[in-house]
């Protein structure tokens, strides 16, 4: 097929050539997912596959292991060479011998990758016994060693634990222990830290880098986050729409990106160092007019507060057995002030209570104590009827754009409902006009009114959710991880939209996020939460340049900063 086939270089471990993969769809036609992708993974080096959702990065990596779904069609000229074996055309038995032994994989969701009914020790021992033929006792001893190596505390006790008894970070460590149990030559890590908190993410990355050095493995690291790549990769492959856009050493990617898409990916992610007025979006760069906008000067504070929260607390009752009740303090003594037209960022890791704060302010949870003053009126003591006018003025945008729109409603019904509830507009014709206007405002076509949510992408749905809130002309908008589930480029669009809307309508935002860089970009003031309590609150500038609290410092220190030349070992 390939007349000028290169001789496999001795320092290449896996050579992927002209990979093309399509998926057979319902009608019987083949939808291409990956086209003409070639890259080589060197021995003892780390290659990063970077791209947004749908870029084909996971499909490319899984084809190495032969883990493609049943409807996948591999192009005839595709080759994946590992040790002179073509993995795409070898015998299934041969592939099974390689998979898990020479090449192993860790996935994004540790909880769904581990078998919930087996103790973690048994799960680690399984591959040891299958691939290395170890006996029960030897496998157990090796499993304890492995758990120790990946940094699980008390490995001899933990070996009998079940997955649900471990935290997310520990589960991912167990997955890594399983993956390295047979001393693989290549470890494929598919978004291994995306589901984890930043502090845990940093630990896992350090663990992977250390293991790679110690065992002389190669690492294929798949991620959507270029900043992560800078810390771990030697070479980077940037993919988009199933094709390789740029393939270069990590230094070149960060210092002199050649492809406009790479430049765009680097630029549209908010950074900790700068606070531009607007975020550039992919289209700007693809059209060749991309450049970093100017920084925004800090805005003045000190106006009258529109929303004031005093000593807010929320205690959940958990079932502690037949006659006992146990309580968990999800939120304790949270207080802040929010001025009209300003943004308060609430940051914290999972379980810090930040989402509960938003829910309690909205009265989606009933507060246990405290006051929420909206223009001086305590929302928590109003009954449903009195609350109704305030419902219009304070609104919430949720995290998951796939869950926050009713799948059985058309976009028109979704947008009209709040206006009907609050009698905004005289009749439906007028409301329809306003809905259409707002759709235009959030960059959606007017015919979207007659369509259903499932026809839209995640970013589009999030904009629909924002438009739904805007129909009521609210004064305060609570954004609960509203951009966290979106791709970087889409995230930039939505963040820009939020900023524009703030300027246009004078909205005040409570912006809840685990992502400190995003909060840095959008917030005027930042509130850091840990275990239900506020650990620090200050204006955005000072919290990022001079954090006072220990926890804030740790949090900031864990954020991947992209490629830092000094941090790299000299070649």
Partner 1 sequence: MSSTGIQVTSPGLWALAWRRLRRDRVAVACLCIVAVYVALMLGSMLGLVAADWEDEAGVSYARPAFAARLQHRPSTEGAAPAEQRAPAVDLSDIDPLAPRYDEWRQRAGELGVTLQARSETLILGGDQWGRDVLKKTIKGSEVSIMVGLAAALIATLIGTLLGALAGYWGGRLNDLMEWVYNVFTSIPYILLILAFAAVLGRGVTTIIVILGLTGWTGIYRLVRAEYLKHREREYVLAAKAIGVSHAKRMFAHILPNTSHVVLVQFSLLVVAFIKTEVILSYLGLGVPVEVVSWGTILAESQDELVMGKWWQLTVAGAAMAMLVTAVSLLTDAMRDALDPKLR
List residues near partner 1 by CB under 8 A.
26, 359, 362, 364, 387-388, 391-392, 395-396, 398-400, 403-408, 410, 417-418, 421-422, 444-448, 450-452, 454-457, 465, 468, 472
The contacts of residue 146 (CB under 8 Å, 6+ apart) are: 124, 177, 178, 180, 181
Q: Helix or strand or coil: residue 460?
A: helix
Least CB distance from residue 401 to partner 1, whole Å?
A: 9
How many angstroms separate the CA atoms of 374 and 306, rounded?
A: 6
For tokens 């970009």, what's the residue? Answer: 521
Q: Indicate the residue among 189 and 357 with the shorter CB distance to partner 1.
A: 357
Q: Which two tokens stand for residue 407?
A: 């799948």
Least CB distance from residue 490 to partner 1, whole Å?
A: 9
Q: C-alpha angle 241/244/247, rounded to 5°? A: 150
Least CB distance from residue 479 to partner 1, whole Å?
A: 13
Q: Where are the alpha helices (DSSP H) in 334-383?
A: 354-361
How many angstroms separate the CA atoms of 459 and 401, rounded?
A: 8
Judged on CB neighbours under 10 Å (0-12, 13-18, 19+), 498 is buried
| 81 φ, ψ (degrees, to nearest 5) | -100, 125
User: What is the DSSP track for 424-450?
Assistant: -SSSHHHHHHHHHHHHHHTT--GGGGG
Q: Indicate the residue among 333 and 417 with the shorter CB distance to partner 1.
A: 417
C-alpha radius of gyration, the chain, whole number: 26
How many angstroms separate the CA atoms of 220 and 187, rounded?
A: 6
Q: Indicate the residue among 173 and 468 with the shorter CB distance to partner 1.
A: 468
Q: C-alpha angle 83/76/191, rounded to 5°? A: 60
Least CB distance from residue 457 to partner 1, whole Å?
A: 6
How many angstroms separate the CA atoms of 555 and 291, rounded?
A: 29
Q: Indicate the residue among 220 and 307 with the shorter CB distance to partner 1.
A: 307
Q: Indicate the residue among 306 and 419 with the shorter CB distance to partner 1.
A: 419
Q: Indicate the residue among 161 and 410 with the shorter CB distance to partner 1.
A: 410
Q: Indicate the residue among 17 and 461 with the shorter CB distance to partner 1.
A: 461
Least CB distance from residue 398 to partner 1, whole Å?
A: 4
CA dihedral 532, 537, 541, 545 (to 10 degrees): -70
How many angstroms separate the CA atoms of 146 and 549, rounded?
A: 35
Least CB distance from residue 464 to partner 1, whole Å?
A: 11
DSSP bridge pairs for 270: none
Q: Indicate the residue among 6 and 420 with the shorter CB distance to partner 1.
A: 420
Least CB distance from residue 31 to partner 1, whole Å?
A: 15
Q: Indicate the residue among 84 and 454 with the shorter CB distance to partner 1.
A: 454
How many angstroms separate the CA atoms of 447 and 301, rounded?
A: 41
Least CB distance from residue 396 to partner 1, whole Å?
A: 5
How many angstroms separate the CA atoms of 255 and 292, rounded?
A: 15
How many angstroms separate the CA atoms of 493 and 280, rounded?
A: 8
Least CB distance from residue 473 to partner 1, whole Å?
A: 13
| 302 φ, ψ (degrees, to nearest 5) | 115, 10
How many angstroms separate the CA atoms of 495 and 394, rounded?
A: 19
Q: Indicate the residue among 139 and 465 with the shorter CB distance to partner 1.
A: 465
Q: Indicate the residue among 137 and 408 with the shorter CB distance to partner 1.
A: 408
Q: Indicate the residue among 298 and 446 with the shorter CB distance to partner 1.
A: 446
Query: 508, 379, 402: which is closest to 465 by C-alpha?
Result: 402
Least CB distance from residue 471 to partner 1, whole Å?
A: 9
Least CB distance from residue 313 to partner 1, whole Å?
A: 21
Least CB distance from residue 510 to partner 1, whole Å?
A: 13
Q: Indicate the residue among 1 and 421 with the shorter CB distance to partner 1.
A: 421
Q: Indicate the residue among 195 and 396 with the shorter CB distance to partner 1.
A: 396
CB distance 415 to 439 below 8 Å: yes
Least CB distance from residue 461 to partner 1, whole Å?
A: 11
DSSP bridge pairs for 243: 240
DSSP 8-state symbol, 136? H
How many angstroms separate the CA atoms of 292 and 280, rounded?
A: 7
Least CB distance from residue 282 to partner 1, whole Å?
A: 11
């Amino acid at each position: 097929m390939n007349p000028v086939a290169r001789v496999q270089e001795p320092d290449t471990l896996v050579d992927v050539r002209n990979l093309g993969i399509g998926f057979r769809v319902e009608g019987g036609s083949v939808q291409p997912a990956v086209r003409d992708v070639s890259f080589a993974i060197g021995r003892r080096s780390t290659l990063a596959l970077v791209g947004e959702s749908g870029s084909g990065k996971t499909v490319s990596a899984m084809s190495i292991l032969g883990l493609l779904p049943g409807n996948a069609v591999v192009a005839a000229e595709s080759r994946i060479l590992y040790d002179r074996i073509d993995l795409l055309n070898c015998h299934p038995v041969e592939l099974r011998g390689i998979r898990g032994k020479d090449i192993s994989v860790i996935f994004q969701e540790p909880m769904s990758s581990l078998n919930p009914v087996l103790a973690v020790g048994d799960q680690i021992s399984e591959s040891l016994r299958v691939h290395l033929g170890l006996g029960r006792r030897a496998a157990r001893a090796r499993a304890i060693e492995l758990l120790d190596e990946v940094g699980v505390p008390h490995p001899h006790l933990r070996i009998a634990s079940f997955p649900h008894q471990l935290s997310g970070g520990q589960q991912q460590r167990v997955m890594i222990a399983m993956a390295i149990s047979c001393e693989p030559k290549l470890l494929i890590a598919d978004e291994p830290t995306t589901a984890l908190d930043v502090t845990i993410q940093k630990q896992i990355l350090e663990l992977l880098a250390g293991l790679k050095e110690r065992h002389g493995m190669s690492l294929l690291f798949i991620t959507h986050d270029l900043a992560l790549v800078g810390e771990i990769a030697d070479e980077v492959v940037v993919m988009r729409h199933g094709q390789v856009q740029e393939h270069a050493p990590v230094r070149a990617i960060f210092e002199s990106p050649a492809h406009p898409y790479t430049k765009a990916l680097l630029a549209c992610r908010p950074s900790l160092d700068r606070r531009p007025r607007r975020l550039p979006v992919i289209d700007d760069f693809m059209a060749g007019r991309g450049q970093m906008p100017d920084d925004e000067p800090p805005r003045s504070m000190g106006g009258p507060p529109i929303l004031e929260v005093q000593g807010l607390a929320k205690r959940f009752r958990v079932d502690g057995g037949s006659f006992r009740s146990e309580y968990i303090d999800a939120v304790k003594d949270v207080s802040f002030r929010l001025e009209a037209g300003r943004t308060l960022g609430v940051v914290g890791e999972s379980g810090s209570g930040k989402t509960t704060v938003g829910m309690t302010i909205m009265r989606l949870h009933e507060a246990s104590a405290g006051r929420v003053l909206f223009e001086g009126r305590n929302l928590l003591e109003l009954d449903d009827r009195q609350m109704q006018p305030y419902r219009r003025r304070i609104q919430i945008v949720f995290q998951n754009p796939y869950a926050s729109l009713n799948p059985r409603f058309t976009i028109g019904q979704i947008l009209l409902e709040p206006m009907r509830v609050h009698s905004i507009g005289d009749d439906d014709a007028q409301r329809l006009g306003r809905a259409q206007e707002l759709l235009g405002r959030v960059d959606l076509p007017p015919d979207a009114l007659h369509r259903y949510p499932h026809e839209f992408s995640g970013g589009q749905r999030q904009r629909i959710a924002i438009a739904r809130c805007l129909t009521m002309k609210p004064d305060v908008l609570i954004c609960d991880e509203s951009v966290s589930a979106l791709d970087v480029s889409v995230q930039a669009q939505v963040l820009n939209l939020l900023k524009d809307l703030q300027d246009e309508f004078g909205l005040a935002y409570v912006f809840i996020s685990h992502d400190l860089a995003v909060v840095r970009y959008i917030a005027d003031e930042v509130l850091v939460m840990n275990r239900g309590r506020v650990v620090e609150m200050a204006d955005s500038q000072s919290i990022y340049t001079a954090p006072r609290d220990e926890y804030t410092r740790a949090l900031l220190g864990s954020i991947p900063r992209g490629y830092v030349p000094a941090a790299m070992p000299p070649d």
